């Protein structure tokens, strides 16, 4: 399957992403206006589209472009899982031209996905993760 990559979410793309978000446990409660705001304020947004233009994968990055890049919201549409799209998204981020100086790529994932990310060169860290939520 051939994919198209996008790094801008204009027009109806925000709605397509919102539809993907509504199907995932960690993003389903996000309001549409907040998703649009997030798209405008993430350092890098990456979409994977099927040959017909349908958005089938997404991830975003927050970074200082030197020391750290945090990868968030890696999502593949349920109808397209198991085809290597998630791997392609992560590899595309790690090899992204604007991130070539970044020393550490980090992400959060549930335990069931640790093996997936380890195959892509990630290692499980030993530091404590702290949250302050509003």
Please, are residues 109 and 73 in contact by the beta-carbon 8 Å criterion? no
pLDDT at 72 over 60: yes
pLDDT at 3 over 80: yes
Residue 74: Cβ-neighbour burial (10 angstroms; 0-12, 13-18, 19+): buried
Q: Which CATH class is domain 4-118?
A: alpha beta
Q: What is the rounded radius of gyration, in angstroms, for the C-alpha atoms of the chain?
A: 15
Domain boundaries, the chain: 4-118
Beta bridge partners of 70: 62, 106
Dist CA 81 CA 100 (whole Å)? 28
**Predicted local distance difference test score (pLDDT) of residue 11:** 76
Mean pLDDT, residues 15-30 taken together: 94
Q: Percent of the chain at pLDDT above 70?
A: 93
pLDDT at 48 over 80: yes
DSSP strand pairing (68-76 vs 104-107):
parallel
């Amino acid at each position: 399957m051939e994919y198209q990559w996008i790094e801008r979410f204009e027009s109806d793309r925000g709605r397509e992403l919102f539809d993907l978000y509504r199907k995932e446990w960690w993003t389903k409660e996000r309001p549409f206006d907040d998703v649009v705001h997030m798209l405008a304020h993430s350092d890098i947004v990456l979409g994977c589209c099927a040959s017909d233009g349908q958005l089938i994968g997404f991830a975003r990055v927050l970074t200082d472009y030197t020391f750290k890049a945090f990868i968030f919201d890696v999502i593949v549409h349920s109808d397209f899982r198991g085809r290597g799209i998630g791997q392609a998204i992560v590899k595309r981020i790690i090899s992204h031209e604007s991130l070539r100086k970044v020393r550490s790529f980090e992400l959060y994932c549930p335990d069931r996905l640790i093996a997936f990310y380890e195959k892509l060169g990630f290692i499980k860290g030993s530091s404590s993760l702290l949250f302050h939520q509003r």
